[in-house]
Structure 1
Amino acid sequence: MPPKALPVDVSHRSRIAITLPLLAAAALALAHPRAHAGTDKLLLTGGVTTIDGAAGGGLTPWAVIGTNATEGEFGVAATASVVSTRNYTMQVQGLMLAFDDRVEVSIARQDFATEATGRALGLPGLHLKTIVFGAKARLFGDAVLDSDRWLPQVAAGVEWKQADAGGLDPTLHALGARTNGVDVYVSATKLFLAQGILVNGTLRATKANQNGLLGFGGTGNDRYRLEPEFSAAWLANRKLAFGAEYRRKPDNLNPSPLGAGLKEDDWWDVFTAWAPTKSISLTVAWVQLGHIVPAVATKKQDGGYASAQIAF
């Protein structure tokens, strides 16, 4: 028998639904006009926005601070992204605030449609939803000003995630997974400005299953694991960049009573980012997300990614 759906916490979802608009209003109120004026930040050197809301690539955060804010300025950025693979579709909306090119806070809301997989599990229309609150602080270094030195820009960040797996929650609880968790990471970003090359390495402590969509921890592992993430980008010109990302992930639900049916693979992508203006950036990518619930969706999940960001 498929697990019964849990009662819907309407008040909780309502609070989440109004969070982004309220933060957007606050952001616009905080963003002083001088943050909208001619910013000195070079195009694309602040990255775009990850699916978790932090500045970086699409899959992994970088040490850079997002928005167009430089020293002494407030900045705000909003983003919308979609990922479409063989069996799944995920939509993400995010909002980011930054100050002084040193501190960044963000919120992202993810909606993962299970489509045919949900129907096969006896849960038609199942959506896995996660809200992510993030904060990042630059510790030392400056990716642009130190581009002629070997010193990278280094930042530390934290992401608090709350998952709602709907009718799949009872199954995840039975497998030892919790509905909320915290990721902590350190990123180092080095920009070789003369060569137009950017490289980033991130080390993440996490218990997240499929980035938190399937909860945190489980019978296979309930300890934090350190997982590396890497990015590299070539700035072909001041408006166009090409790159790739790799993100290693834990496998907390494998093995389980379902055998390897919840096996988790690493993620990677190749991307193109274009910034036609200082306020707008567009990103497209081909992503490989590996197996996601291979007990039902037997093929690896590859597909397209598109994201639009507006920043001030």
Structure 2
Amino acid sequence: MTRFKLIPSIKLITVTGISIFTSIVQAQDSRLPDMGKLTATGGVSQVEGAGGGGLTPWALITGYGTRDSYGANAHYTQVNTQDYRLKTHGVAIGIADQVEFSIAQQEFTGRLAPLNALNLKQDILGIKVKLAGDAVYDQAGWMPQISGGMQYKRDAKVGGLGALGITNVKQLGAKDDHGIDYYLSATKIYLAQSLLVNGTVRMTKANQMGLLGFGGDKKDRYQAQLEGSIAYLVNRKLVIGAEYRMKPRNLGVDNEKDYSDIFVAYFPSKNFSVTAAFVQLGDITIFNPKKQQGWYLSMQAGF
């Protein structure tokens, strides 16, 4: 079982979320979740654990529980490029279609010398709150659904660089090995056109999502980064789309580039989905100065 070493305030958030979740279940006399939301409107699991697309969170709350219920899911995702592999797994809970709690762990490994032994791990705890609007039911108006969220991230391991004398991301130029991303997402679903459009503004200091620490020798301040998704519902079970995510450039050893993907998501039922994508992650460290691109595969199960 994965163990997360988190600061006391994060533990408090987790305990609070569990208490709210337990209260809702008890209030419903132990009934099963209603799963009343439309298929695919819970999104898939983003690589940092939040509900949304693969690269960027949406304003939608994870799971299929309506405002009178709850939902939850577990996911496993793997991204393979020429030189690297990213694996992430976690769980997320959506409560009353208003609040989402998520927890995930990322593992990033190298596949080519001199970073073939590289092994980085990062723990992520997230919360998202619906602030205004409704992406599904407000079809007559222009107002999107708007949610605000935060993701606490902590580097749990830096391995495989002992020969270079590196055991902590600070030795690569990062200012911290933990940090918090803040984001605001707006999502609009046009049912008549079978179209979903999402825009996210993220305030962050994270290098490569935080895997290489936070802040750096070039910059050490929060920067606003834009993220976007567009998805077309081919039918009730199949979705195609694309995403783009801007990235900061804080480290001298990492000429970080923006992320993008083209994806296909299949929802055979509300209990299971699989997403495949072609991803471009740009340069990752000066040690393997090659544009990284490859495939993405994610599976999600829940209710």
TM-score normalised by L of structure 2: 0.87
Equivalent of 1:248, from 227, 246, 249?
246
- The CA distance in 2 between the partners of 1:134 and 1:48, in whole Å, is 15
- Secondary structure of 1:204's counterpart equals strand
Q: Does residue 228 in structure 1 map to residue 233 in structure 2?
A: no
Contact map agreement 1:165 1:214 (CA 8 A) in 2: no
Equivalent of 2:217, from 209, 216, 219?
219
TM-score normalised by L of structure 1: 0.85
Q: How do 1:283-294 and structure 2 match up within 5 A?
A: 283-293=275-285
Task: Give 1:15 shift.
Answer: 2.9
Task: Give 1:180 shift.
Answer: 0.2
Change (3 A) 1:191 1:14: closer
Equivalent of 2:294, from 272, 289, 303?
303
2:87 equivalent in structure 1: 91
Q: Which runs of 4+ in 1 moved over 2 A?
A: 13-17, 26-37, 164-174
Q: Does residue 177 in structure 1 map to residue 170 in structure 2?
A: no
Q: Does residue 127 in structure 1 map to residue 123 in structure 2?
A: no
Task: Give 1:296 shift.
Answer: 2.1
Contact map agreement 1:148 1:192 (CA 8 A) in 2: no
- Secondary structure of 1:272's counterpart equals strand
- Secondary structure of 2:3's counterpart equals helix
Structure 2 counterpart of 1:189, one-letter code: T
Structure 2 counterpart of 1:93, one-letter code: H
| 1:38-60 residue CA offsets vs partner (Å, 9 max, x unmatched) | x2200111111100000000000
1:195 equivalent in structure 2: 193
- The CA distance in 1 between the partners of 2:140 and 2:62, in whole Å, is 22
Structure 1 counterpart of 2:158, one-letter code: A
2:3 equivalent in structure 1: 15
- The CA distance in 2 between the partners of 1:304 and 1:60, in whole Å, is 17
- Secondary structure of 2:192's counterpart equals coil
Structure 1 or 2: more strand by fraction: 2
- The CA distance in 2 between the partners of 1:216 and 1:184, in whole Å, is 13
- Secondary structure of 1:142's counterpart equals coil
- Secondary structure of 2:226's counterpart equals strand
Task: Give 1:148 shift.
Answer: 2.8
- The CA distance in 2 between the partners of 1:171 and 1:113, in whole Å, is 15
1:165 equivalent in structure 2: 158
- The CA distance in 1 between the partners of 2:287 and 2:3, in whole Å, is 33
RMSD: 2.3
- The CA distance in 2 between the partners of 1:302 and 1:162, in whole Å, is 26
Q: Does residue 36 in structure 1 map to residue 33 in structure 2?
A: yes
Task: Give 1:286 shift.
Answer: 0.4
Contact map agreement 1:291 1:299 (CA 8 A) in 2: yes
| 1:85-141 residue CA offsets vs partner (Å, 9 max, x unmatched) | 010111110100111000000001001111224xx15xx532110010000000011
Contact map agreement 2:169 2:177 (CA 8 A) in 1: no
1:275 equivalent in structure 2: 267
- The CA distance in 1 between the partners of 2:33 and 2:262, in whole Å, is 31
Matched residue count: 283
Contact map agreement 1:35 1:68 (CA 8 A) in 2: no
- Gaps spanning 5+ residues in structure 2: where? 6-10
1:156 equivalent in structure 2: 148
Structure 1 counterpart of 2:297, one-letter code: A
| 1:227-252 residue CA offsets vs partner (Å, 9 max, x unmatched) | 00000000111111000000000000
| 1:5-42 residue CA offsets vs partner (Å, 9 max, x unmatched) | xxxxxxxx97339x9xx99xx799776654434x2200
1:54 equivalent in structure 2: 50
